[in-house]
Protein backbone atom coordinates (compact mmCIF):
# COMPACT_ATOMS: atom_id res chain seq x y z
CA UNK A 1 0.00 0.00 0.00
CA UNK A 2 1.50 3.37 -0.99
CA UNK A 3 2.55 5.65 1.85
CA UNK A 4 0.61 8.91 2.13
CA UNK A 5 3.49 11.33 2.65
CA UNK A 6 1.17 14.32 2.25
CA UNK A 7 -0.58 13.31 5.46
CA UNK A 8 2.75 13.03 7.28
CA UNK A 9 3.81 16.41 5.92
CA UNK A 10 0.61 17.92 7.32
CA UNK A 11 1.06 16.21 10.68
CA UNK A 12 4.51 17.76 11.28
CA UNK A 13 3.53 21.19 10.01
CA UNK A 14 6.22 21.37 7.32
CA UNK A 15 5.25 21.92 3.69
CA UNK A 16 7.78 20.50 1.25
CA UNK A 17 8.53 22.08 -2.10
CA UNK A 18 9.90 18.73 -3.22
CA UNK A 19 7.88 15.87 -1.75
CA UNK A 20 10.43 13.46 -3.22
CA UNK A 21 12.93 14.63 -0.60
CA UNK A 22 10.50 13.70 2.15
CA UNK A 23 10.03 10.25 0.65
CA UNK A 24 13.78 9.83 0.31
CA UNK A 25 14.24 10.56 4.02
CA UNK A 26 12.20 7.43 4.78
CA UNK A 27 13.82 5.21 2.15
CA UNK A 28 16.17 2.58 3.56
CA UNK A 29 18.86 1.09 1.34
CA UNK A 30 17.25 -2.34 1.66
CA UNK A 31 14.00 -1.08 0.12
CA UNK A 32 15.77 -0.10 -3.09
CA UNK A 33 17.30 -3.56 -3.34
CA UNK A 34 13.77 -4.93 -3.66
CA UNK A 35 12.46 -2.08 -5.84
CA UNK A 36 14.99 -1.74 -8.62
CA UNK A 37 12.77 0.62 -10.62
CA UNK A 38 12.90 3.36 -8.00
CA UNK A 39 14.54 6.60 -9.10
CA UNK A 40 15.05 7.97 -5.58
CA UNK A 41 18.22 7.51 -3.54
CA UNK A 42 18.21 5.90 -0.12
CA UNK A 43 18.35 8.16 2.94
CA UNK A 44 22.00 7.80 4.01
CA UNK A 45 23.26 11.04 2.45
CA UNK A 46 20.34 12.96 3.95
CA UNK A 47 21.10 11.32 7.30
CA UNK A 48 24.74 12.44 7.04
CA UNK A 49 23.64 16.03 6.42
CA UNK A 50 20.86 15.97 8.99
CA UNK A 51 23.23 14.76 11.69
CA UNK A 52 25.41 17.86 11.18
CA UNK A 53 22.42 20.23 11.03
CA UNK A 54 20.97 18.68 14.19
CA UNK A 55 24.26 19.08 16.02
CA UNK A 56 24.72 22.72 15.01
CA UNK A 57 21.18 23.78 15.88
CA UNK A 58 21.25 21.87 19.17
CA UNK A 59 24.62 23.35 20.09
CA UNK A 60 23.33 26.89 19.49
CA UNK A 61 20.20 26.16 21.52
CA UNK A 62 22.14 24.79 24.49
CA UNK A 63 24.69 27.60 24.33
CA UNK A 64 21.89 30.14 24.76
CA UNK A 65 19.74 28.16 27.22
CA UNK A 66 22.55 27.40 29.69
CA UNK A 67 24.86 30.46 29.75
CA UNK A 68 26.47 29.40 33.03
CA UNK A 69 27.44 25.87 31.96
CA UNK A 70 30.94 25.04 30.78
CA UNK A 71 31.84 23.35 27.50
CA UNK A 72 32.10 19.91 29.09
CA UNK A 73 28.60 19.94 30.52
CA UNK A 74 27.12 21.43 27.35
CA UNK A 75 28.76 18.62 25.38
CA UNK A 76 27.22 16.05 27.73
CA UNK A 77 23.78 17.70 27.42
CA UNK A 78 24.07 17.65 23.64
CA UNK A 79 25.11 14.00 23.55
CA UNK A 80 22.03 13.06 25.57
CA UNK A 81 19.76 15.27 23.47
CA UNK A 82 20.77 14.09 19.99
CA UNK A 83 21.69 10.45 20.62
CA UNK A 84 19.98 7.57 18.83
CA UNK A 85 17.68 6.79 21.77
CA UNK A 86 16.24 10.31 21.97
CA UNK A 87 15.95 10.71 18.20
CA UNK A 88 14.14 7.37 17.94
CA UNK A 89 11.71 8.41 20.69
CA UNK A 90 10.87 11.61 18.83
CA UNK A 91 10.53 9.74 15.53
CA UNK A 92 8.14 7.29 17.18
CA UNK A 93 6.07 10.11 18.64
CA UNK A 94 5.77 11.67 15.17
CA UNK A 95 4.45 8.41 13.72
CA UNK A 96 7.49 7.96 11.47
CA UNK A 97 7.42 4.20 11.98
CA UNK A 98 4.35 3.97 9.73
CA UNK A 99 6.13 5.64 6.82
CA UNK A 100 9.47 3.82 6.73
CA UNK A 101 10.24 2.25 3.36
CA UNK A 102 12.03 -1.00 4.17
CA UNK A 103 12.73 -4.37 2.64
CA UNK A 104 10.49 -7.22 3.76
CA UNK A 105 13.33 -8.46 5.97
CA UNK A 106 14.06 -5.11 7.60
CA UNK A 107 10.33 -4.52 8.13
CA UNK A 108 10.26 -7.52 10.48
CA UNK A 109 12.84 -5.99 12.81
CA UNK A 110 11.60 -4.69 16.12
CA UNK A 111 13.14 -3.37 19.31
CA UNK A 112 16.61 -1.87 19.09
CA UNK A 113 17.05 -2.60 15.39
CA UNK A 114 13.90 -0.64 14.59
CA UNK A 115 14.98 2.16 16.95
CA UNK A 116 18.19 2.62 14.96
CA UNK A 117 16.20 2.81 11.70
CA UNK A 118 13.91 5.41 13.25
CA UNK A 119 16.80 7.51 14.59
CA UNK A 120 18.46 7.45 11.17
CA UNK A 121 15.22 8.44 9.45
CA UNK A 122 14.75 11.31 11.91
CA UNK A 123 18.20 12.67 11.03
CA UNK A 124 17.45 12.19 7.33
CA UNK A 125 14.19 14.09 7.79
CA UNK A 126 16.08 17.00 9.34
CA UNK A 127 18.45 16.94 6.36
CA UNK A 128 15.53 16.89 3.93
CA UNK A 129 13.85 19.87 5.62
CA UNK A 130 17.14 21.76 5.57
CA UNK A 131 17.70 21.18 1.85
CA UNK A 132 14.09 21.84 0.91
CA UNK A 133 13.26 24.83 3.10
CA UNK A 134 16.47 26.08 4.72
CA UNK A 135 18.01 26.53 8.14
CA UNK A 136 15.10 28.33 9.81
CA UNK A 137 12.61 25.63 8.83
CA UNK A 138 14.94 22.91 10.14
CA UNK A 139 15.46 24.85 13.36
CA UNK A 140 11.72 25.31 13.85
CA UNK A 141 11.08 21.59 13.37
CA UNK A 142 13.82 20.65 15.86
CA UNK A 143 12.66 23.27 18.38
CA UNK A 144 9.11 21.91 18.32
CA UNK A 145 9.95 18.24 18.50
CA UNK A 146 13.35 17.66 20.09
CA UNK A 147 14.15 20.55 22.40
CA UNK A 148 11.24 19.87 24.83
CA UNK A 149 13.24 16.76 25.84
CA UNK A 150 16.08 18.77 27.38
CA UNK A 151 14.34 19.73 30.63
CA UNK A 152 13.69 16.06 31.42
CA UNK A 153 17.26 15.14 30.46
CA UNK A 154 18.70 17.73 32.85
CA UNK A 155 16.19 17.09 35.65
CA UNK A 156 16.77 13.31 35.61
CA UNK A 157 20.52 13.76 35.03
CA UNK A 158 20.38 11.58 31.93
CA UNK A 159 23.42 13.47 30.65
CA UNK A 160 25.69 12.06 33.34
CA UNK A 161 28.29 9.46 32.44
CA UNK A 162 26.22 6.29 32.72
CA UNK A 163 29.28 4.03 32.49
CA UNK A 164 30.85 5.61 35.57
CA UNK A 165 27.58 5.37 37.49
CA UNK A 166 27.14 1.72 36.54
CA UNK A 167 30.70 0.89 37.54
CA UNK A 168 30.19 2.44 40.98
CA UNK A 169 26.92 0.59 41.54
CA UNK A 170 28.26 -2.74 40.26
CA UNK A 171 31.26 -2.53 42.56
CA UNK A 172 29.04 -1.53 45.46
CA UNK A 173 26.52 -4.35 44.97
CA UNK A 174 28.57 -7.10 43.34
CA UNK A 175 32.21 -6.22 43.96
CA UNK A 176 33.06 -6.39 40.24
CA UNK A 177 33.56 -4.03 37.31
CA UNK A 178 31.18 -4.36 34.34
CA UNK A 179 32.66 -5.11 30.93
CA UNK A 180 31.38 -4.31 27.45
CA UNK A 181 31.24 -6.50 24.36
CA UNK A 182 30.45 -5.40 20.80
CA UNK A 183 27.63 -7.72 19.74
CA UNK A 184 27.36 -6.47 16.17
CA UNK A 185 28.32 -3.64 13.86
CA UNK A 186 26.86 -2.65 10.53
CA UNK A 187 26.89 0.12 7.95
CA UNK A 188 29.60 1.76 5.84
CA UNK A 189 32.79 3.07 7.43
CA UNK A 190 31.52 6.66 7.54
CA UNK A 191 28.24 5.65 9.19
CA UNK A 192 28.77 2.65 11.45
CA UNK A 193 26.12 1.32 13.81
CA UNK A 194 27.22 -0.58 16.92
CA UNK A 195 25.30 -2.88 19.23
CA UNK A 196 27.00 -3.41 22.60
CA UNK A 197 26.19 -5.62 25.59
CA UNK A 198 27.25 -4.84 29.16
CA UNK A 199 28.04 -7.79 31.41
CA UNK A 200 28.71 -8.48 35.07
CA UNK A 201 30.93 -11.55 34.97
CA UNK A 202 29.10 -13.79 32.44
CA UNK A 203 25.65 -12.25 32.90
CA UNK A 204 24.31 -9.89 30.24
CA UNK A 205 22.74 -6.92 32.00
CA UNK A 206 21.53 -4.91 29.01
CA UNK A 207 22.23 -3.89 25.44
CA UNK A 208 22.61 -0.51 23.77
CA UNK A 209 23.14 0.88 20.29
CA UNK A 210 24.89 3.92 18.86
CA UNK A 211 26.95 5.39 16.06
CA UNK A 212 30.17 4.74 17.94
CA UNK A 213 31.27 2.11 20.42
CA UNK A 214 31.34 4.79 23.12
CA UNK A 215 27.77 5.91 22.42
CA UNK A 216 26.55 2.31 22.36
CA UNK A 217 28.34 1.56 25.64
CA UNK A 218 26.71 4.59 27.29
CA UNK A 219 23.30 3.46 26.01
CA UNK A 220 23.91 -0.04 27.37
CA UNK A 221 24.99 1.36 30.73
CA UNK A 222 21.86 3.55 30.95
CA UNK A 223 19.69 0.55 30.11
CA UNK A 224 21.45 -1.52 32.79
CA UNK A 225 20.97 1.20 35.42
CA UNK A 226 17.27 1.34 34.57
CA UNK A 227 16.89 -2.44 34.61
CA UNK A 228 18.62 -2.80 37.99
CA UNK A 229 16.80 0.17 39.49
CA UNK A 230 20.10 1.91 40.23
Mapped onto helix, strand or coil, the DSSP state of residue 86 is helix
**pLDDT beyond 70 at 144:** yes
Instruction: Output 144 or 4, whichever has higher pLDDT.
Output: 144
Closest residue by Cα to residue 198 from 170, 226, 224: 224
Residues 200 and 110 in one domain: no
Based on the fold, state whether residues 193 and 209 are members of the same structural domain: yes
Number of domains in the chain: 2
Average pLDDT score, the chain:
90
Alpha carbons 201 and 180: distance in angstroms, whole number: 10
Q: Which residues are catalytic?
A: 51, 123
Whether the CB-CB separation of 85 and 219 falls below 8 Å is answered with: yes
- CA-nearest of 4, 43, 39, 229 to 128 is 43
Residue that is last in its domain, among 118, 133, 155: 155
98, 130, 155: which is the final residue of a domain? 155
% of the chain residues with pLDDT over 70: 97
pLDDT in tens, 168-191: 889 988 899 999 999 999 887 777
Domain region containing 189: 162-228
28 torsion bin: left (phi>0), alpha (psi -120 to 50), beta (else): beta
Q: Torsions phi, psi of 115, nearest 5?
A: -60, -40
Looking at residue 186, its pLDDT comes to 87
We report the CATH number of the domain holding residue 33 as 1.10.1520.10
> How many Å apart are CA 182 and CA 213, to the nearest integer?
8
Q: Is the pLDDT of residue 82 over 90?
A: yes
Model confidence, pTM: 0.74
Using CB atoms within 10 A of its CB, is residue 96 exposed (0-12), middle (13-18) or buried (19+)? buried
Question: Are 129 and 137 contacting, i.e. CB atoms less than 8 angstroms apart?
Answer: yes
From CA 121, how far away is CA 96, in angstroms rounded?
Answer: 8
Amino acid sequence: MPKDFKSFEASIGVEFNDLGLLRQAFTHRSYLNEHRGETLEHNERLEFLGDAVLELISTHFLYEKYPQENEGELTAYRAALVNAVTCAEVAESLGMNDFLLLSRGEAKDTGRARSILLANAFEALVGAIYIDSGYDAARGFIERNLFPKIDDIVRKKLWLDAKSSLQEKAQEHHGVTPHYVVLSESGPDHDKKFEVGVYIKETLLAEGSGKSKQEAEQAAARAALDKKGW
